[in-house]
Amino acid sequence: MRTYTRNSPEAVSRLVAMAIITDAEVDDRELDALERMDFYGSVGINKWAFGDVLADFCDDLKRRADRRGRIRLLDQRHLDHALSEVDDPLLRAKTIALIANLVRSDGRVAAQEAAFLSYLLKRWEYCSDTADTARLH
């Protein structure tokens, strides 16, 4: 997995990209939500640079495919790496708000999206225990 500068727009963007990809579906409503939330301006990245981060994340996923070609969209080791690159408390709070709004934007919250958000909250210590945090796979 790529390494980004700590607290950079790319580091935050990768987490948002993970949230988008988590349910194995890029929904146009999620992409529209990024515009409505002024994600790009609030994080300091343009739409095309975000697209590059999203594409790079997908490339990283493909490289991690097993011999059968199966891909785990999220695994704890890679997620922990990505989460560690955002350690500014205000930026973490902003990232959580962005992702929480994003995962609801398509009218439903998939189990994997809920698991991703729960894991993020627990890892960043915004809650001490999420009732049986769903498995990341």
Q: What is the pLDDT of residues 10-67, one digit of tens each?
A: 999 999 999 999 888 888 899 999 999 999 999 999 999 999 999 999 999 888 878 8
* pLDDT score, position 130: 46
Q: In this structure, are residues 7 and 85 in contact, taking their beta carbons and an 8 Å threshold?
A: yes
Q: In this structure, are residues 58 and 26 in contact, taking their beta carbons and an 8 Å threshold?
A: no
Model confidence band, residue 120 (pLDDT cutoffs 50, 70, 90) = very high
* Mean pLDDT of the 78-87 span: 95
**Nearest CA-CA partner of 121 in 81, 92, 86, 91:** 92
Q: What is the pLDDT of residues 88-106, one digit of tens each?
A: 999 999 999 999 999 999 8
* pLDDT score, position 26: 85
Query: Higher pLDDT residue, 125 or 3?
Result: 3
Instruction: Give domain limits for the chain.
Output: 9-123
* Mean pLDDT of the 72-94 span: 92
* pLDDT score, position 65: 78
* pLDDT score, position 108: 86
Q: How far is CA 18 from CA 1, 77, 118, in A?
A: 12, 14, 13
